[in-house]
């Protein structure tokens, strides 16, 4: 149990700045990679949507590390090409015509001249912006305003099964959590959940509500989750996949 009474749900895809990137000539191509050295037993490589990461023990010299990567050059080039074809960029710059996922659907952004005002018109998000406006910031504010009422409504609905008063529901901009439950400050839900389908949002809310009864991840806690949201196993697995696809604004 977390002594502060606050528990992580699980980790979001990291969006903090990456470690320093190095570059290496592999098979005639310049390949960027991130080197992570630590208390490791052997050299290793992983490739995902962020690119190539190399793990190495502290004592291994850089020349040996890069020779190891070069020795697997065909695999590195092929795997990077595979991800380039199948993984859409997650970093999104807001501009006129940008489309964003929203609660299982999609919303289009319209940018107009104005005084930095926000308006929702069905499936259209209107940013009436000054010439020097930060459109990303305006879009985040609009999405947060849309997120909180939805989260509160769903918490009220799901929380009715608990037969206990609910704490305040607030938004979080945490980079590594979907949600948290604190004995002192209540439930906080990551506003980026607004990009996911409603049943995924419901699972996160149910997870945090269950912490009101069990501030841990024991068998009793998961029984509480099941009482609130019976299909939690399948939805939790789906969330781990869909969470990697949310746009980063």
Instruction: Identify whether the C-beta of residue 201 lies closer than 8 Å to the C-beta of residue 30.
Output: no
pLDDT at 20: 66
In this predicted model, which residue has the larger pLDDT, 133 or 48? 133
Closest CA to 35 of 14, 15, 51: 51
Q: Tens digit of pLDDT for each residue in 151-165?
A: 999 999 999 988 788
Taking residues 94-112, what's their average pLDDT?
A: 94
* 50 CB-contact burial (10 Å; exposed 0-12 / middle 13-18 / buried 19+): middle
What pLDDT, on the 0 to 100 scale, is given for residue 86? 63
Q: Which pLDDT does position 6 carry in this prediction?
A: 45
| pLDDT at residue 14 is higher than 80 | no
Choice between 147 and 19, residue whose per-residue pLDDT is larger: 147
pLDDT at position 153, please?
A: 96
At 17, the pLDDT band (50, 70, 90 cuts) reads: very low
**175 or 241: whose pLDDT is higher?**
241
* pLDDT one-digit tens code per residue, 191-227: 999 999 999 999 999 999 999 988 888 999 999 999 9
Q: Could you give the CA distance from residue 145 to residue 142 in angstroms, rounded to a whole number?
A: 5
Residue 41: pLDDT band (50, 70, 90) is confident
Report for 53-62, 187-196, 229-238: range of highest mean pLDDT: 187-196
Average pLDDT over residues 90-105: 91
Domains and CATH numbers, the chain: 21-86 (no CATH), 99-245 (3.30.2010.10)
Determine the 3-state secondary structure of 15 from DSSP.
coil
Residues 6+ apart with CB under 8 A from 92: 98, 100, 247, 248, 249
pTM over 0.75: no
């Amino acid at each position: 149990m977390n002594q502060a009474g606050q528990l992580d749900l699980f980790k979001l895809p990291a969006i903090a700045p990456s470690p320093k990137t190095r570059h290496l000539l592999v098979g005639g191509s310049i390949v960027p990679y991130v080197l992570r050295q630590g208390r490791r037993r052997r050299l290793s490589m992983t490739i995902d949507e962020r690119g190539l990461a190399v793990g190495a023990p502290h004592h291994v010299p850089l020349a040996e590390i890069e020779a190891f990567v070069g020795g697997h050059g065909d695999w590195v080039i092929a795997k990077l090409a595979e991800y380039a074809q199948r993984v859409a960029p997650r970093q999104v710059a807001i501009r006129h015509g940008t489309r964003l996922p929203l609660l299982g659907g999609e919303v289009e952004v319209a940018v107009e001249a104005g005084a930095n005002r926000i308006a929702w018109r069905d499936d259209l998000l209107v940013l009436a912006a000054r010439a020097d406006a930060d459109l990303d910031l305006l879009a985040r504010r609009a999405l947060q305003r849309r997120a909180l009422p939805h989260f509160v409504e769903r918490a009220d609905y799901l929380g009715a099964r608990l037969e206990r008063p609910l704490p305040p529901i607030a938004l979080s901009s945490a980079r590594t959590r979907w949600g948290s439950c604190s004995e002192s400050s209540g439930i906080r839900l990551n506003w980026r959940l607004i990009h996911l389908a409603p049943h995924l949002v419901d699972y996160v809310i149910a997870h945090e509500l269950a912490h009101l009864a069990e501030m841990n991840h024991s068998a009793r806690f998961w029984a509480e989750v099941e009482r609130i949201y019976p299909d939690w196993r399948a939805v939790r697995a789906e969330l781990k996949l869909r969470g990697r696809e949310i746009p980063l604004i």
